């Protein structure tokens, strides 16, 4: 098949990645409905599932409770993130053998700009076939691949023929396949957006493409402009290698609790654990942040968020924890059972210490950010303790040391 468009973008999407890794590592699971996430005794949600489980209606993002109801014979496995990240790193190495322009989308997806480099392999199809075969040979996994003139179309294409598919999707083919489909056939259009558009008489992708972009902006804001562009098969965003991607805008961690919490002590312990996770990630990536947010979901699925901006940016767990606790309304736990908790840090500043170690640099703006001098002996002690804990975790793993306040029987 001749491919005449340019640029040539490839989107690789691993097939049922987490479940496939589990089956590869445990061959006795082959052919069984494997469901990763929400293991025994956990509530949680499904991370992914094998194609055998999907026949029962199970899908990623579904509550584990519902997944068990639909597929009681399913093999539920708690996700082992470290193993998946290792395989993802191996994938990245394989991708970079074919092009230097690889933009990871998640642990199991990536966009690749192969414009020009595909000629080394005879053409785009030949390059992708070689890539798919190498993944099979090296990792014993399969993937589905889309080839298109843009990142968005390539991502749509990779999902058209799963598993182990290879699909070419130019703009004309996009219109032929997608224009008759409902608007939520487009990636990124959810149920709420679909309802809003339906209220304006916009039901199909063709309807969306023919609607004036200004009208869509009035209905959906900036997101409306984006939908107007992609519904026409246009996407000018480029694949950006990970090392060249913009700095993080926020860092967060949340957890769906094993059972609804009404014990304030356990809520406090969970928030401390979340704050520790976020602060640790900030330090490892060289950030400090100013805005601390909490997310609380009650037993009846009502969700609220609260935020507070502090004067001096920080990467310290104790500061994040104290501010987060102040943001949680007192009725949560005592009167309202809590189902989910999350902690987030935003307004991040990428830091670099100068020779004296007393100044940071905002790498986004180039402006210097003066940090408060640690003249308080207690502050110095906390700083040294944090460094010691980080050093232990770096060497022996995240579980090697835990904060006492997170340990409840």
pLDDT digits (tens, 9 = 90+) for 270-287: 999 999 999 988 888 888
> Can you give the pLDDT at residue 39?
55
Rounded to whole angstroms, how far apart are CA atoms 394 and 253? 19
Question: Does domain 174-230 fall into CATH 3.90.230.10?
Answer: no
> Can you give the pLDDT at residue 165?
96
> Can you give the pLDDT at residue 248?
64
Q: Along the 409 residues of the chain, how does pLDDT read in single tens digits?
A: 678 888 999 999 999 999 999 999 999 999 999 999 865 445 577 889 999 999 999 998 888 889 999 999 999 998 666 678 889 889 999 999 999 999 988 889 999 999 988 778 889 999 999 999 999 999 999 999 999 999 999 999 999 999 999 999 999 999 999 999 999 999 878 888 899 999 999 999 999 999 999 999 888 887 888 899 999 998 888 888 866 665 667 899 998 887 888 888 889 999 999 999 999 888 888 888 999 999 999 988 889 999 999 988 888 898 999 999 999 998 998 889 999 999 999 988 876 433 333 334 443 333 334 344 344 445 555 555 666 666 665 555 555 556 655 554 4
Candidates 22, 52, 103, 109; catalytic one: 109
Q: Is the Cβ–Cβ distance between 293 and 363 less than 8 Å? A: no
Domain with CATH 3.30.1490.100 in the chain: 250-393
CATH no., domain 250-393: 3.30.1490.100
Token couple for 80: 């082992």
Phi, psi dihedral angles at 237 (to 5 degrees): -70, 145
**What is the helix, strand, coil percentage profile of the chain, to 5?**
45, 25, 35
Token couple for 334: 């005592």
Check residue 37 and report its DSSP letter: S
Plot region of 230 (φ>0 → left; ψ -120 to 50 → alpha; else → beta): alpha
Host H or E run for residue 24: helix 17-25
Token couple for 182: 């409902």
> Can you give the pLDDT at residue 29?
96
Q: What's the pTM?
A: 0.64
254 is catalytic: no
Count CA atoms closer than 13 A to 153's CA, side-chain side. 29
Question: What is the number of H-type helices and E-type strands within the chain?
Answer: 15, 14
> In terms of C-beta distances under 8 Å and separation of at least 24 residues, what long-range contacts does 154-157 make, across chains too?
154/9, 154/10, 154/11, 154/111, 155/11, 155/13, 155/105, 155/109, 155/111, 155/187, 156/186, 156/187, 157/11
> Can you give the pLDDT at residue 224?
86
Host H or E run for residue 245: none
Rounded to whole angstroms, how far apart are CA atoms 327 and 305? 9
Token couple for 311: 């004067």
> Can you give the pLDDT at residue 243?
66
Domain with CATH 3.40.1170.60 in the chain: 17-81
Query: What residues contact residue 222 under an 8 Å CB cut-off, 6+ apart?
Result: none
The CATH class that applies to domain 17-81 reads: alpha beta
Q: Is the Cβ–Cβ distance between 275 and 321 less than 8 Å? A: yes
CB-based burial label for 264 (10 Å; 0-12, 13-18, 19+): middle
Host H or E run for residue 297: strand 287-298
Q: Please write the tens of the pLDDT for every residue from 86-132.
A: 898 899 999 999 999 999 888 899 999 999 887 788 899 999 999 99
Rounded to whole angstroms, how far apart are CA atoms 326 and 338? 16
> Can you give the pLDDT at residue 363?
38
Domain with CATH 1.10.150.20 in the chain: 174-230
């Amino acid at each position: 098949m001749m491919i005449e468009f340019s640029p040539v973008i490839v989107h690789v999407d691993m097939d049922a990645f987490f479940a496939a890794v589990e089956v590869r590592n445990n061959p006795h699971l082959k052919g069984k409905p494997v469901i990763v996430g929400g293991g025994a005794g956990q509530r949680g949600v499904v991370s992914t599932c094998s194609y055998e489980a999907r026949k029962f209606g199970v899908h990623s993002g579904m509550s584990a409770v519902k997944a068990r109801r639909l597929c009681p014979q399913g093999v539920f496995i708690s996700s082992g993130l470290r193993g998946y990240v290792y395989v993802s790193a191996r994938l990245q190495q394989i991708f970079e053998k074919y092009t230097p322009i690889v933009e990871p989308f998640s642990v199991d997806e990536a966009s690749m700009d192969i414009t020009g480099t595909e000629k080394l392999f005879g053409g785009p199809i030949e390059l992708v076939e070689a890539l798919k075969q190498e993944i099979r040979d090296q990792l014993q996994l399969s993937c589905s691949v889309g080839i298109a003139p843009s990142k968005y179309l390539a991502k749509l294409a990779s999902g058209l023929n799963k598993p182990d598919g290879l699909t070419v999707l130019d703009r004309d083919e996009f219109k032929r396949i997608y224009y008759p489909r409902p608007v939520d056939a487009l990636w990124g259009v959810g149920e709420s957006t679909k309802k809003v558009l339906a209220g304006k008489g916009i039901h199909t992708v063709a309807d969306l493409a023919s609607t004036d972009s200004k009208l869509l902006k009035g209905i959906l804001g900036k997101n409306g402009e984006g939908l107007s562009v992609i519904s026409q098969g246009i996407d000018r965003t480029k694949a950006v290698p990970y090392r060249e991607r913009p700095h993080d805008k926020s860092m967060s961690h949340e957890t769906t609790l094993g059972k609804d919490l009404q014990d304030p002590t356990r809520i406090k312990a969970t928030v401390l654990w979340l704050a520790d996770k976020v602060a640790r990630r900030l330090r490892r990536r060289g950030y400090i942040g100013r805005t601390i947010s909490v997310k609380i979901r009650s037993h009846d699925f009502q969700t609220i968020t609260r935020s507070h901006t502090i004067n001096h940016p920080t990467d310290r767990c104790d500061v994040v924890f104290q501010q987060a606790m102040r943001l949680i309304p007192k009725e949560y736990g005592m009167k309202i059972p809590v189902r989910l908790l999350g902690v987030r840090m935003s307004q991040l500043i990428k830091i670099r210490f100068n020779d004296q170690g007393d100044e940071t640099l905002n790498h986004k703006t180039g402006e210097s950010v003066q940090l408060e001098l640690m003249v308080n002996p207690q502050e110095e002690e906390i700083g040294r303790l944090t460094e010691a804990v980080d050093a232990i975790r770096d060497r022996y793993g995240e579980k090697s040391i835990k904060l006492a306040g997170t340990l409840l029987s």
